[in-house]
Amino acid sequence: MRKSGVAEKYVRVVQDMYERSRTVVRCAVDQTEEFKVEVGLHQGSALSPFLFAVVMDQLSEEVRQESPWTVMFADEIVICSESREQVEENLERWRFALERRGMKVSCSKTGYICVNEREGSGTVRLQGEEVKKVQEFKYLGSTVQSNGECGKEVKKRVQAGWNGWRKVSGVLCDRKISARIKGKVYRTVVRPAMLYGLETVSLRKRQESEIEVAELKMLRFSLGVTRLDRIRNEYIRGTAHVGRLGDKVREARIRCFGHI
């Protein structure tokens, strides 16, 4: 905290909060006796995320690289390199920097992914232990695939949209509620779940169509309209005051680009 420029009086307050800390563990039937806590941050404390961010910022100062080579969020770290040797070298640098200050890299929770893999690329090791190779991984709620595709992420977004729709289906399918109100509820609850993270995904026409088809099914269910009624999609969107989802994705990309 001192290295980060935090005033000394606040440093002392935090030190006092963590001095002689004791806690208990509560389970379904009872709770344990009190015991000392000498390592880690207070669970549930509003101050803990800030303290962890300060600690990680100082611990990684000498080893982290600029984006996109190093991406950090809380305790999740993504290291990008152009070769297996560079990955192992960077992993070892991170391990040394963290363990020197009392933290540990969990090899069982660490994995690596190869993009445009060549034959015989070998394995990645950390302190002689082989790091597991994966074909995909989740980072900040989004799925990254080794082949560069986003099919699984699109399917997950569609599923998230249906989950949100089911939660408010009592409102969306109520014939006493106007289409305008239903559209507002849909835009507030369902659509954000479908759009989450898509501003960073390169969607193909087929994948964009897959999302829009799912959205139109939700809107038709909400308005009590079936395919047999032969009502055009534009009329469905206009009645619910819901624009095309593809246009919203492009708007989100522009906002994201402006933010970056």
Helix (H, G, I), strand (E, B) or coil at 135: coil
Residue 164 confidence (pLDDT)? 92
Per-residue pLDDT averaged across 223-252, rounded? Answer: 86
Residue 214 confidence (pLDDT)? 92
Residue 118 confidence (pLDDT)? 67
d(CA 5, CA 14): 14
Per-residue pLDDT averaged across 139-147, rounded? Answer: 77
Residue 260 confidence (pLDDT)? 65
Beta-ladder partners of 26: 31
Q: Return the higher-pLDDT residue of 220 and 113.
A: 220
pTM of the model: 0.65
pLDDT in tens, 109-120: 888 888 776 665
Per-residue pLDDT averaged across 191-199, rounded? Answer: 87
Q: Return the higher-pLDDT residue of 223 and 115.
A: 223
Confidence check: pLDDT of 209 > 70: yes
Cβ-contact 44, 34 below 8 angstroms: no
Beta strands in 75-180 (DSSP E): 76-79, 111-112, 125-126, 129-130, 132-133, 136-139, 142-145
- The highest-confidence range among 38-42, 210-214, 244-248, by mean pLDDT, is 210-214
Helix (H, G, I), strand (E, B) or coil at 129: strand
Confidence check: pLDDT of 215 > 80: yes
Confidence check: pLDDT of 218 > 70: yes
d(CA 88, CA 123): 10
Confidence check: pLDDT of 162 > 90: yes
Q: Return the higher-pLDDT residue of 19 and 260.
A: 19
Residue 208, judged by CB atoms within 10 A of its CB (0-12, 13-18, 19+), counts as middle
Around Cβ 94, how many Cβ atoms within 10 Å? 21
d(CA 246, CA 209): 8
Per-residue pLDDT averaged across 237-254, rounded? Answer: 86
Around Cβ 110, how many Cβ atoms within 10 Å? 17
User: Which positions ≥6 away from 95 have C-beta within 8 Å?
Assistant: 105, 126, 127
DSSP state of 93: H
In the chain, the percentage of residues whose pLDDT exceeds 70 is 97
Helix (H, G, I), strand (E, B) or coil at 191: helix
Confidence check: pLDDT of 102 > 80: no
Beta-ladder partners of 145: 136
Residue 74, judged by CB atoms within 10 A of its CB (0-12, 13-18, 19+), counts as exposed
pLDDT in tens, 57-96: 877 777 777 777 887 776 778 888 888 888 888 888 888 8
Residue 125's H or E segment, with its range, is strand 125-126
* Mean pLDDT of the residues in the chain: 83
Quickly state the pLDDT bin for 121 (edges 50, 70, 90).
low
